[in-house]
Amino acid sequence: MAAELKRLRAEEADALKDAQQRLSEAGEKQPADDHKVTRQTVSKEVEALRAKLLERKKVRELPAGVEATRSEVVRCLRENDRRPLDCWREVEAFKEEVRRFEKGWVDKVVS
């Protein structure tokens, strides 16, 4: 999920950079009288990109099963701070729960 957020932020940054570049190129080609129109266009595009970015920042809550197994892993690691390999069962249960969650999400997106 963090990797996807990074990818989306990078895409938005690239889109903003491209829009700014196109607008600056268009501004160089236009006479000085049309500069206000360009400034308004830039403002509108920046606001639209900000709205898209804010919309994508919304983080959804994890399902109860994933949150419960995550808590178990954290609890186990805290109890066994010198022996983290003792928590392999909890880690495997968490991985399985995440696999189920991801499969459900993919099935929902694909269908």
* DSSP letter for each residue of 34-61: GHHHHHHHHHHHHHHHHHHHHHHTPPPP
**In this predicted model, what pLDDT tens digit does every residue of 24-69 receive, in sequence order?**
887 666 555 555 568 888 888 899 988 888 877 666 777 888 889 9
Cα→Cα distances 21→2, 15, 26, 42, 60, Å? 28, 10, 9, 10, 34
**In this predicted model, what pLDDT tens digit does every residue of 68-103 receive, in sequence order?**
999 999 999 999 888 878 889 999 999 999 999 999
The helix (run of H) or strand (run of E) holding residue 30 is none
- CB–CB of 73/94 below 8 Å? yes
Q: What is the Cα Rg of the chain in Å?
A: 23
